[in-house]
Amino acid sequence: MLKEVTKVGKHTLVLATFFILIIFAGCSENNENNVTTKTSNSTHSEEVADDLVRITISKNNGKEHITEEEIPIKGGENLLELMQNNFFTEQVNGQVTSIERQKANEEENLLWVIMVNNEPLTVQPAEYNVQSGDKIIFDLHEVK
């Protein structure tokens, strides 16, 4: 009789352990298959809130999205200062040469093209004072 109880207890213990392992396996985090995707619901036509500017960083005429941020402005801030304070940038003589480790290459005509409110920026970034609601795009692409 004692052997039957022990045998039944062992089976119950084995089954309980098996179910606990299944539960833990199902609840565990598998980092190998986890993919983090950053998406943005904003479009270039959306309005930007007061005291903010939207800066979009992209490549190949917007085909490759790097990042997009809405940044509060203080007033009197120029575009170069805003970029240096909020992104990893490099510049030479006021001309942006690298943003977020994406470098321009003059020999290959791969340059940062800057658009402000859908118009090309015609001055150096240090000469442009950002305005509330500006939509600024820095796009790294081949200029012919």
CATH code, domain with 58 = 2.170.130.30
Enclosing domain of residue 79: 52-142
Cα torsion for 119, 123, 124, 130, to the nearest 10°? -60
Listed in sequence order, the residues at least 6 apart from 13 whose beta carbon sits closer than 8 Å to its beta carbon are none
Q: How many domains does the structure of the chain reveal?
A: 1
Give me the amino acid identity at 99.
Answer: I
- Residue 44 domain-assigned? no
Q: What is the pLDDT of residues 71-90, one digit of tens each?
A: 999 888 999 999 999 999 99
pTM over 0.75: no
pLDDT at residue 31, rounded to an integer: 44
Q: What is the pLDDT of residues 83-119, one digit of tens each?
A: 999 999 999 988 899 999 999 999 999 999 999 999 9
